[in-house]
Structure 1
Amino acid sequence: MIQLIAIDLDGTLLNDRKQITKQTQAVLKAARASGVRIVLCSGRPLRGIDRYLRVLGLTNPGDFAVTYNGGLVQKSDSGEVISEKILTRDQLLSLYALSQERDLPMNFIDREKVYCPPYPKQKPSLYGTVMKTMPFVKADMEHLPADIRINKAVFCISEKILTPAIAEIPQSYRKNYTMVKSHPYLLEILNKDADKGKALQTLTHFLGLASSEVMAIGDEENDLAMIRFAGLGIAMGNAIDALKAEAQFVTKTNEQEGVAYAIEKYVLKR
């Protein structure tokens, strides 16, 4: 029996206007009323999903969220950290060297702000168009604090530039970090032990649940790990082909309230 539903936000729970429809809200409310936990799992920070948590009533004691693509597992009401996987100063410097070699703009993010190191002049970062809920500050890469704690780094630039650049990233980097696309124009780089699947594993252990009691719903590459972890993996109708291939069921699209459809089918059974 499903006891926890893990749901991605963009392209999954949210429609193309970044809204949770009334029908989807009603279905999630019914699932919660039946005793099922709802956990939002996003690449965003907690403050970036706060308004959706509030809409769904998920800011009470006992509510949890997976943020930074699994880099953080937090209590939704207080922000208290259950698990955190960070990037160190040395890792940031290594990733910045990679960004310089590949002529890509890089940002990195902690729990409070977005850092902006110098960008290639002709290729500014597009992350400011994506992240609207955190302040941006300049970063002096030569004087980073030794104890800096960063949750993720990102390369955010047009797909036609990013996709071929990703293909050229050396295998040594791929071994040492979790690298996932959350949008066609956004590569997110995390601690190698951070992904949505590992985060759900940590949370379910904390809650005393088995993976067989978890349903996960997503649409992008960064959702693959949680789809694989969950006893029931659901791909959105608009999901990438790789996710559809791994899922047990392909639901309707985010514009067709695919989350609500899947929950009604497998949890509410109506």
Structure 2
Amino acid sequence: MTRIALVVSDVDGTLLTKDKTLTEAATQAARRIHAAGIGFTITSSRPTIGMRFLIEPLAIMLPIGPFNGSAIVDPQMNPIEQHLIPVAAAERSIEMLERYGVDIWLFTLDTWFTRNAAGEYVPHEVRAIRTEPTVVKDFAPYVARACKIVGASSDFELLRRCETDMRAALGEQATAVRSQNYYLDITPPGRDKGTFVATMAQRLGISVDAVATIGDMANDIAMFAASGLSIAMGNAHDEVKARAKLVTATNEDEGFAKAIDMILERSAAG
């Protein structure tokens, strides 16, 4: 077995608990990885601004991958790579989300835009990313700078159907995948958490077989496929667990910390 040289973790549902807390056990687990001489970083559907608060407690020194890995920024939040949704695809995405009647958000590299400050999931997102949205009447002035467009709804089945239709409508123009049951993310084409893993491995001069990944949602499957060791959280859907090599406990039962222990044990054995 190839010795693990890098761990890449998802954030929500993986590194954080349901109430968006970073536990002491998770913090100490990340520090054990550093102490073992293994690199550690994070990738998430979150915008850049929503990942800043994790850098210091996790002692992250490597680039991180916001927007499902379609952007790469350094630990000071300076852009290294930035990819945007093509304007036509962004406009088409907004039209389809409007047709489905779900709340719509648009993220640029540093700003969250919404047309509805009273949206059902706005308070949830504020708590998660620790940033208030900018309320606008029209998204048109910002579509050329869109890093991510989100459809938010508590009607999970509606959003599932919207995801299917969005993929069919966009084809290879953009990526559409749910990062949570209640969020449908549209991000730049040809970029995902898997390409982030590959890019990080190249930057570090290691094989992707030496990368371990931890996640819980469908958008994590791409990085599972791109890594030598993949671990699904206990709270993941069965289809996600089936695509991982190992399964840990839930994010409410220190599943991240336990996954790190699995990685360290296998790395030591290798």
Question: What TM-score, normalized to structure 1?
Answer: 0.87
Aligned with 2:10 (options 1, 8, 11):
8
CA displacement at 1:259 relative to structure 2: 1.6
Q: Does 1:101 align with 2:99?
A: yes
**What CA distance in whole angstroms lies between the structure 1 residues aligned with 2:115 and 2:25?**
43
Name the aligned partner's letter for residue 96 of structure 2.
Answer: L
Give the 3-state SS of the residue equivalent to 2:178 in structure 1.
strand
Aligned with 1:152 (options 130, 141, 148):
148
Name the aligned partner's letter for residue 64 of structure 1.
Answer: P
Name the aligned partner's letter for residue 22 of structure 2.
Answer: I
**What CA distance in whole angstroms lies between the structure 1 residues aligned with 2:167 and 2:50?**
31
Aligned to 1:48: 50
Structure 1 pair 139–151 and aligned structure 2 pair: CA distance change class (3 A): farther
Aligned to 1:71: 70
Alignment of 1:230-241 (within 5 A): 230-241=227-238
Structure 1 pair 234–168 and aligned structure 2 pair: CA distance change class (3 A): same
Alignment RMSD, CA only? 2.2
Unpaired stretches in structure 1, ≥5 consecutive residues:
none
Would you say the 8 A contact 2:163–2:176 is kept in 1? Answer: no
**What CA distance in whole angstroms lies between the structure 2 residues aligned with 1:168 and 1:79?**
34
Name the aligned partner's letter for residue 18 of structure 2.
Answer: D
Aligned to 1:212: 209
Give the 3-state SS of the residue equivalent to 1:264 in structure 2.
helix
Would you say the 8 A contact 2:212–2:263 is kept in 1? Answer: no
**1:129-151 deviations in Å (ceiling 9; x for gaps):** 3322143230524x5268x3211
Q: Does 1:221 align with 2:218?
A: yes
**1:17-69 deviations in Å (ceiling 9; x for gaps):** 322222222222121012111111111123212222221122xxx42211111
Q: Give the number of aligned pairs.
A: 260
Would you say the 8 A contact 2:86–2:174 is kept in 1? Answer: no
Alignment of 1:94-243 (within 5 A): 94-117=92-115, 125-132=119-126, 133-141=131-139, 144=141, 148-158=144-154, 159-169=156-166, 171-243=168-240
CA displacement at 1:179 relative to structure 2: 0.9
Structure 1 pair 232–25 and aligned structure 2 pair: CA distance change class (3 A): same
Structure 1 pair 242–193 and aligned structure 2 pair: CA distance change class (3 A): same
CA displacement at 1:95 relative to structure 2: 1.6
Name the aligned partner's letter for residue 242 of structure 2.
Answer: A
CA displacement at 1:174 relative to structure 2: 3.8
Name the aligned partner's letter for residue 72 of structure 2.
Answer: V
Structure 1 pair 22–137 and aligned structure 2 pair: CA distance change class (3 A): same
**1:112-140 deviations in Å (ceiling 9; x for gaps):** 22223579xxxx74341332214323052
**What CA distance in whole angstroms lies between the structure 2 residues aligned with 1:30 and 1:200?**
21
Aligned to 1:249: 246
**1:3-23 deviations in Å (ceiling 9; x for gaps):** 110011111111223222222
Would you say the 8 A contact 2:163–2:178 is kept in 1? Answer: no
**What CA distance in whole angstroms lies between the structure 1 residues aligned with 2:14 and 2:167?**
31
**What CA distance in whole angstroms lies between the structure 2 residues aligned with 1:199 and 1:137?**
31
Name the aligned partner's letter for residue 52 of structure 1.
Answer: L
**What CA distance in whole angstroms lies between the structure 2 residues aligned with 1:168 and 1:144?**
26
Give the 3-state SS of the residue equivalent to 2:197 in structure 1.
helix
**What CA distance in whole angstroms lies between the structure 2 residues aligned with 1:80 and 1:200?**
19
After TM superposition, the structure 1 stretch with the greater mean CA deviation from structure 2, 4-13 or 254-263, is: 254-263
Give the 3-state SS of the residue equivalent to 2:52 in structure 1.
helix
